[in-house]
Structure 1
Amino acid sequence: MAYMPVTESMFLIAETREQPMHVGGLQLFIPRPDQSSTELAEEIVTTFQSCTDVSALFRKRPASPVTVLGNVAWSHDDEIDFEYHVRRAVLPRPGRIRELLRYVSLQHGALLDRYRPMWELHIIEGLEDGRVALYSKLHHSLVDGVSALRLLERALTPDPNDRNGTAPWDNALVRRRSTESTGDDRDLRSRLTSAVSATIDVAGQVVGLAPAAAKVAMRGLSDPDFVAPGNGAPRTILDVAIGSARRFAADQWEIDRLRAVAAALGITINDVVVAMCGSALRAYLIDQDALPERPLIAALPVSMHGEGDKTGNAITAIMVSLATDEPDAHRRVDSIVASARSAKSVVRELKPLQALALGAANIAPLAFATVPGVVQYTPPQFNLMISNVPGPSQDLYWNGAQLDGVYPVSIPMEGLALNITVTSTAHHVNFGLIGARSQVPSLQRLLTHLDHALEELEKVAEVDQSR
């Protein structure tokens, strides 16, 4: 039995029937020229179920009895029931993307079993275009979004001729990564010195929490672009209590289009992503006759993982205005970028522990969201989360089958009926939108609005360049 850090236990404590706390991903693969989609699906299932040397992460489950120890300690299963965890499904005809997204929507609303290691992997065939889909589902107490994506990547290869495909939980992958990350020649003295220095640094950061908090508060008063903790967000149709049913929508855009806009406006690709979301949400809320006078506020998770440290949970959060009150596209993107830059500059001025504390202060209201009446009677701190998780920068393959799309599937919560998560691949930026089914009507329309938002930004970039 192992102690469970609070950064992991909080996701178990926050979980309710209406608020499952698992993250997921939808990956699409193009079969090799010499195989059918059924053959690829069979190959994946056989390989995954035969990989019995399972890494510790995929053997972890809440300690028994789960109602007493399950939120404070981990236990590990020696054997995995692969028939339960690795599932094969065939979509109903005609096998459109619509049927695939409906399948993911239904599966993502179901809780994971706490008496088993908290993950599932679904191999889905029957798509009319011949691709095979993998839908993964892991509890957030095990991994954050960055870690979940890395688990996928480590089982893939940039070599299309490699036929050594294995499962993401293969312990050989963990051992290989461990060897690569600890293969330096530092002696014991240097390692001990580093450990002592790190301990002293943490102590200094704790002492500096109060001054750091005062600095953040002063920045909120002096900088109109900075959204400080406690400033609050407008009440919208997204800030409501939710049911357990989910609706998932996803699409991708060529990354070169976003790069061109970013280069023309002198901003980052992430700025373009957030600006797309701001414009799309403005249009969506106008459709619903529900656009508030004040701008929506988005919480943007920021990974605190260091080099070689890509597992577990290590995130903070910043608040960014989406400028949904601004009808002019050019002024809207300028306002969003200014808000994001201000928030990032504050985080950069803080020590890592202080930055984590700032993130905790930003998202602290979520800890009370399941208390009856809190969502209805307290003003929201922010209206939704928008996450951008960097993905692979090159084409990847599994046993010669090419990865053709990666769509994150995240978590709606009480008071946060919509979550937008984005990840990039070699050629595309992939948007995954997950919403509470009853509380976010016509979620798929947001995809159309995102497309229009990118076209709008391209026009803004053209005008800006012509000046």
Structure 2
Amino acid sequence: MSRKVLKANDSAWLYAESHRTPMQVAMLATFRVPEDRPDFVRDLVSRWREVREFAAPFNYLLKMAPLPSWKELTPEEIDLDYHFRHNALPRPGSQRELGVLVSRLHSQKMDRRYPLWECHMIEGLEDEAGQQWSMYMKVHHSQIDGVGGIRLLRRILSADPETRGMLPPWAVGTHGPDQSGLPPKEKAPVPAQHQTAPIAAAVSSASAVAGSLGRTYSESLMGTQDADRAVPFRAPKTVFNGRIHTPRRFATQHYPIDRLRAVSTATGGSLNDVFLALCGGAMRRYLTELGDLPSESLIANVPVSVREAGDGAGVGNAITFLYSSLGTDVAAPVERIRVIQASTKLGKERLPQVGSLAMDAYTAVLMAPFMSQSILGFGGRGRPASNVVISNVPGPAEARYLDGSRLEEIYPVSLLFNGQALNITAVSYDGEFNIGFTGCRDSIPSLQRIAVHAGEELEALEAALGL
């Protein structure tokens, strides 16, 4: 069968992986059991076990030699029973028991002798409105990023509650049938600066990339960056930035997205700035409780999608990164969000305006020192590149369904490194803003407190702004 060689940026996630730091991303999607179908989960699992069609990347097997590449397997070569698993919570199942199970599932590194994905159907969850069920699905980060994962989710779930007989994720993938029932989005036009002659475009891209990298690392090494501008390896070391261990903790929080939009309108910034302010304030409260709040501001590594609008879900990553101050040295919540707005503005201005190939090169060089630490095992021993990774991915704006079972909530479950024991990732869905907090169990005691503090910070911002 054919092989597809990985891009350097995708391969890095494989080389950085260890049993303590599995490089996998996941989603936890919770659905409502239809009232007229109490055996919905059992019947769905039974039907899906018979689906032996596999679309990319679910039919890819990793081969590391001579270069990291994906070997495309035939359906007969894939053991579906290994990848597709049925779990149940002890009744009555609560969010706490679900979080414990997901934490355990996400702690386990995937076996490279198999395609790098798992799909877990979890039943037994209950709330005041009745029965729920969840789907936890993880895929290796070398195959998919956050935006690619949400685009894949859009293909898997339907906007029509009457759609039946829907295929499982592994039969949809990036190239299988689109089950959303929505018209495909048009591919975005190529920007004018990318339509120049090839040689001129290459020279212009190289100049932009070199200039951006030069300014970033010269400021980092010399310590002469703008007061509002965050750069790598200038972050203070905290409890979030030591060596980590295998066990994970996972916590969640969610708010109506209109609350965040009201704050962003009142402060004249973006919704993502508000999200960063909630995270910064929550981490400030948490570190203050521990007596470990540094005098310098914490710095966030913020992934930025560079995937084109018509790119589909895509296999592999299409992201770069910017660094932002979190204003944790500022007590007043409105003043803190002003600091964050200024910092993210400078970070965005420094991103080179280049095509996808040049952006891949920029990202590879930007992250090379950090990824090298992870690959060589030095991460968490010196000054961290950043204190935390914080990501925000827009999800479906409308309600979605799986065979008539309504998607209630979706949370991202992300990865950790030595030197970065906390990841905070949000996904918006149907008017809600859903945040997943992934942490190292041993490094961060009572991770749930950070999630609670995020809610307190939103209330503090609203009160300060008179909302």
TM-score (norm 1): 0.89
Partners of 1:373 and 1:3 in 2: CA distance: 25
Q: Distance in 2 between matches of 1:173 and 1:234?
A: 40
SS at match of 1:112: coil
**Partner in structure 1 of residue 453 of structure 2:** 449
1:403 counterpart = 2:399: no
In 2: Cα distance, 1:388 partner to 1:164 partner: 32
Counterpart CA distance in 2 for 1:321 and 1:332 is 9
**C-alpha displacement of 1:274:** 0.6
Once the two structures are TM-superposed, the CA of residue 3 in structure 1 deviates from its matched residue by 1.8
Q: Which runs of 4+ in 1 moved over 6 A?
A: 180-184, 217-220
1:436 aligns with 2:437: no
CA contact (8 A) 1:317 1:360 kept: no
Paired residues of 1:212 and 1:350 also in contact (CA < 8 A): no
Aligned partner letter, 1:110: Q
- For residues 80-102 of structure 1, give each alpha carbon's deviation from its aligned partner in whole angstroms, at most 9, with x where no partner exists: 21111110001123311000000
Question: How far 1:461 sits from its partner (Å)?
Answer: 2.1
Q: 1:214 to 1:20 in 2, by over 3 A?
A: closer
Tell me by how many angstroms 1:371 deviates: 6.2
Amino acid at match of 1:72: P
Q: Hey, what's the Cα distance between the residues in 1 that align with 2:79 and 2:195? A: 39
How much has 1:369 moved relative to structure 2?
3.0
Matched, 1:461 2:465: yes
Equivalent position of 2:73 in the other structure: 77
1:409–1:361 Cα change, 3 Å: same
Q: C-alpha separation between the residues in 1 aligned to 2:83 and 2:321?
A: 32
Task: Find the counterpart in structure 2 of residue 148 from structure 1.
Answer: 149
> What secondary structure is seen at the aligned counterpart in 2 of 1:375?
coil
Structure number with the higher helix fraction is 1
Please tell me whether the aligned partners of residues 205 and 354 of structure 2 are also in contact (alpha carbons under 8 angstroms): no
Name the CA shift for 1:445/1:212 in 2 (closer, same or farther; >3 Å).
closer
Q: Percent identity?
A: 35
The alpha-carbon distance between structure 1 residues 237 and 181, as it changes in their structure 2 partners (threshold 3 A), is: same
Alignment of 1:223 with 2:226, yes or no, is yes
Name the amino acid aligned to 1:104: V
Partner in structure 2 of residue 255 of structure 1: 257
Partner in structure 1 of residue 27 of structure 2: 25
- CA distance in structure 1 between the aligned counterparts of 2:353 and 2:5, rounded to whole angstroms: 32
Kept in 2, the 8 Å contact 1:319–1:362? The answer is no
Distance in 2, matches of 1:141 and 1:360, equals 14
DSSP 3-state at the match of 1:154: helix
| Alignment match, 2:428 | 424
Cα distance change on mapping 1:199 and 1:183 into 2, 3 Å: farther
Q: Are positions 1:319 and 2:326 aligned together? A: no
Aligned partner of residue 48 in structure 2, secondary structure: helix
Partners of 2:361 and 2:133 lie apart in 1 by: 42
Q: Matches of residues 305-316 of structure 1 in structure 2 within 5 Å?
A: 305-309=307-311, 310-311=313-314, 312-316=316-320
Q: 1:174 to 1:195 in 2, by over 3 A?
A: farther
Q: 1:243 to 1:216 in 2, by over 3 A?
A: closer
Amino acid at match of 2:158: T
1:462 Cα deviation from its structure 2 partner: 1.3
Q: What is the letter of the counterpart of residue 148 of structure 1?
A: G
- 2: CA distance, partners of 1:18 / 1:371: 12
Question: 1:248: how far off?
Answer: 0.7
Structure 1 segments unaligned to the other structure (5+ residues): none
1:85-100 equivalent positions in 2, closer than 5 A: 85-100=83-98
Give deviations 1:374-394, integer Å, cap 9, x for gaps.
335421111110010110011
Q: What is the aligned partner in structure 1 of residue 100 from structure 2?
A: 102
Counterpart amino acid of residue 437 in structure 1: R
| Alignment partners' CA distance in 2, 1:347 and 1:154 | 30
Per-residue deviation at 1:284? 0.7
For 1:152 and 1:96, the matched residues in 2 are separated by: 25
Native 8 Å contact 2:208 2:354 kept in 1? no
Aligned residue for 1:420, secondary structure, equals strand
* Paired residues for 1:27-42 under 5 Å: 27-36=29-38, 39-42=39-42
- Whether contact under 8 Å (1:145, 1:389) holds in the other structure is yes
Pair 1:401–1:197, CA change in 2 (3 A): farther
Partners in 2 of 1:74 and 1:262 — Cα distance?
43
User: What residue ranges of structure 2 are gaps of 5+ in the alignment?
Assistant: none
Q: Distance in 2 between matches of 1:423 and 1:391?
A: 6
Hey, what does 1:55 align to over in structure 2? 55
TM-score (norm 2): 0.89
1:135 partner letter = Y
Alpha-carbon spacing, 1:327–1:357, altered in 2? closer, same or farther (3 Å): farther
